[in-house]
Structure 1
Amino acid sequence: MSMTAQPKSEPEIKDLLRSHGIFPTSQRVIITRLLFEKCTHLSAEDVFRLVNAGNRQVSKATVYNTLGLLAEKGVVREVLADPTRIFYDPNTQPHHHFFDVTSGKLTDISVDQIHVSNLPPLPPGARLEGVDVIVRLRPEK
């Protein structure tokens, strides 16, 4: 995953959150740091498990609410590859994904590797925000 300026220190994480209009509570800093340190696609359950792997006790509600806020404010992207869970992606640059339906693993695809054409006309009053392509894979038998 290629990203520029990955914040990892506590001051960098706090600055990132503030720059997106988010007050940096200790739980928000821990969750955000985890997402950028892992630098991979994590579900809310993954984040909950990893955040609480040490001696911390961060509630499931706090994890879910923080992830929702981070996505709403543009700190991370939500990726809906599986109908049973949302993945959170610290790479907010335009890109697409491979999704292995057997393992549940997401892998980035560079935006220049997929070309979308012939989109239908947009409804009146709408503007295109982006196109996300998820290529679902299954191992050959």
Structure 2
Amino acid sequence: MVRDYQDHMSQELADLLRERGINPTVQRVEIARLLVYRRTHLTAEDVFRLVNHDGAHVSKATVYNTLGVFAQKGLIREVVIDPTRVVYDSNTVPHHHFYNTETGELFDIEGQTMSVAGLPPLPQGTEVEGVEVIVRLRSSADRVA
């Protein structure tokens, strides 16, 4: 019974990947399984660790390349926290984030609860594709009086 469910879920994921123009290899389906069915924020290292947790053998290069393809095809979003930290977000609807600089946790801010006004003039021949805001937080107890 569990095996039938897993096979069905794998087939659904393979179909989803095909719909996005992604070839559904076994490794890509396993990586998609971590990201698609729940809202989560994972680094590439998190995905590498989790996908290999049960004895699978997915290389680090495959994980990084797959996450890049998934982001390019709109299956997930890349959230660049800083130049050394990228998080992959399974929530692809427009929204923003709170980022706790002390704990490294990233939390969604629903898109409709926040607006951005006063964008500067755009360079000629361009248009706004989207705006993403990261609100950086820290404990107020750490502030020096």
TM-score (norm 2): 0.88
Q: What residue number does 2:122 align with?
A: 122
The CA deviation at 1:38 is 4.7
Q: What CA deviation, in whole Å up to 9, does each residue of 1:84-109 have, x standing for no partner?
A: 22111111100000000111110000
Q: What residue number does 2:111 align with?
A: 111
C-alpha separation in 1, matches of 2:51 and 2:85: 18
**What is the SS of the residue equivalent to 1:9?**
helix
The CA deviation at 1:80 is 0.7
C-alpha separation in 2, matches of 1:139 and 1:84: 22
Q: What residue number does 2:55 align with?
A: 55
For structure 1, the residue ranges without an aligned partner over 5 or more in a row are: 1-7
Q: What residue number does 2:5 align with?
A: none
C-alpha separation in 1, matches of 2:118 and 2:138: 27
More helix by share: 2
**What is the SS of the residue equivalent to 2:121?**
coil
The CA deviation at 1:35 is 1.1
| Structural mapping, 1:1-141, within 5 Å | 9-140=9-140, 141=142
Contact 2:38 2:90 survives alignment (8 Å): no
User: Which is worse superposed, 21-30 or 80-89?
Assistant: 80-89
C-alpha separation in 2, matches of 1:125 and 1:9: 43
C-alpha separation in 2, matches of 1:20 and 1:88: 17
Q: What CA deviation, in whole Å up to 9, does each residue of 1:46-77 have, x standing for no partner?
A: 00010111111110000000000000111100
Cα pair distance change 1:111/1:38, threshold 3 Å: closer
**What is the SS of the residue equivalent to 2:135?**
strand
TM-score (norm 1): 0.91
User: Which is worse superposed, 81-90 or 66-75?
Assistant: 81-90
**What is the SS of the residue equivalent to 1:87?**
strand
C-alpha separation in 1, matches of 2:13 and 2:108: 23
Contact 2:98 2:108 survives alignment (8 Å): yes
User: Which is worse superposed, 80-89 or 104-113?
Assistant: 80-89
User: Which structure is larger by alpha-carbon Rg, 1 or 2?
Assistant: 2
Q: Which runs of 4+ in 1 moved over 4 A?
A: none
Identical counterparts, % of pairs: 58
